Structure 1
Amino acid sequence: MNRFHVHLNVTDLDAGIRFYTHLFAAPPTVHKPDYAKWMLDDPRVNFAISNTGRAPGIDHLGIQAADADALQDLGRRLDAAGGSVVPEEATICCYARSDKYWTEDPQGTRWETFHTLGDATTYHAGDAACATDGAACTPKPGEMKPKVEQGMPCCAPQSACC
């Protein structure tokens, strides 16, 4: 079963953790110096907050796919919805390795669909893993284009590519 995903940027991570721990009646399942995540079953949501210097508020929404087949189905659905769909394979973001698709809805809200492959020791990998520009794990699909580096397909902002 897939899981809804919400990622908020916060200015005070400790205050956010206190608030959401009380709201969800559970501590975060992942707690890092700049990031916290709750994997909740009621409601079924992957809820994350981070303090990485981005503007406070909703960073992006998404759907965490249960497996690779579910991610491919979500990718097809995003493609059918229109707009740019940007794939990322084996990217590192939010202390996890994931395959994902990014897009934006007609209002410009970023949507991430992803299948988590395992844990990572860093928030993002930056250019070394060819995931994004390293500034954030939430690229703007309109500013990205597919890029191939060392045989691995991935994406980077156009300004960092070519």
Structure 2
Amino acid sequence: METAQSRQQAAPGAFTAFARFVVCGGGVGLASSFAVAALAAWLPWGLANAVISVVSTLLATELHARFTFGAGGHATWRQHTQSAGSAVAAYAVTCAAMFALQQLVAAPGAVLEQVVYLSASALAGVARFAVLRLVVFARNRSQAAATAARTPRPVQATVARASAPAGPAALSRAA
């Protein structure tokens, strides 16, 4: 069973966490961009983006809890809720970017839409990384550190050896 102390030691540094964030969050974001485009064929784009944003946020929060920030397990409801707050801001950024594109270009192609959507997602992603690292998963690391500080460490006992050889007479005295 993993202890709070070993989880604390497993928490990655900023560079490692950002690299993991890019791989996990970027992978989910890239898949989401294609899912939004596919779902928008049946639903209005804003609704398709909302549905995909909810699903991808749940998935990404789990990945970040387990791998990115070294929380060592499932994300809590508090972490999902806080992560959802940053996702709402990301949703607003992507919607604003796509709305601006629709206003500026009469009939944007799929490639231009993807470039705009992914660029807006990347900008929102950097902001989300900061929020997740400094707010959402930071408490988890500080709680683990506090628990590790309160947990008593095992004391190593040393056994002194007698200078006389342990023969039958010494064993009978010890008993």
TM-score range, shorter chain: under 0.3
Larger relative contact order, structure 1 or 2 (CA cutoff 8 Å, min sep 6): 2
Q: Which has the larger radius of gyration?
A: 2
Report which of the two has the higher share of helix.
2
TM-score (norm 2): 0.21
Report which of the two has the higher share of strand.
1
TM-score (norm 1): 0.22
